[in-house]
Amino acid sequence: MTLIDTSAWIEFFRAGGDPQVKERVADLLTVDEAAYTCPIYFELLAGAREKEKGPIREALSFCKRELFTKRHWELAAVHESLLLGRGVTVPRDDLFVGTVALAKSLPILCKDRHFDLMRDRGKLKLEIVQLA
């Protein structure tokens, strides 16, 4: 199972999106290995035009939904404190996605450097799917 971040979904849905990301997302959907979490759902719907929401919901219906629970809120607070202590500031939506990935031991498919920052400078043990 791979957690597909908002940044990868945007590439997937964009007409001129990165073909490598499009292929990777399509492959994960085809083999039932795609997952998302509540912050990703929120970001996608909040940023979508009305006509885009149906296709987004349809694509996500083929994914496993990883709930963002009370435990994840607590872990996110710990992670943010660790990151700030190391001089790393990232958007909280990315922090929430990273927290779920860590808690569920899921790799993240993304096109967002904030996850690299959390892993490299922040020392969080995130597994990021590398795109060539």
Range of the domain at 70: 2-129
Q: How many domains does the chain have?
A: 1
Could you tell me the CATH number of the domain that includes residue 85? 3.40.50.1010
User: Is 60 exceeded by the pLDDT of residue 132?
Assistant: no
Yes or no: say if 112 and 5 are a contact pair by the CB < 8 Å rule.
Answer: yes
Q: What is the pLDDT of residues 49-71, one digit of tens each?
A: 999 999 999 999 999 999 999 99
Q: What is the pLDDT of residues 109-120, one digit of tens each?
A: 999 999 999 999
Other residues' Cβ atoms within 10 Å of the Cβ of residue 120? 13
76 closest CA partner among 53, 62, 93, 52 = 93
Report if pTM > 0.85.
yes
For residues 60, 61, 63, 69, the Cα torsion angle rounded to the nearest 10 degrees is 80
For residues 92, 24, 15, 42, the Cα torsion angle rounded to the nearest 10 degrees is -30
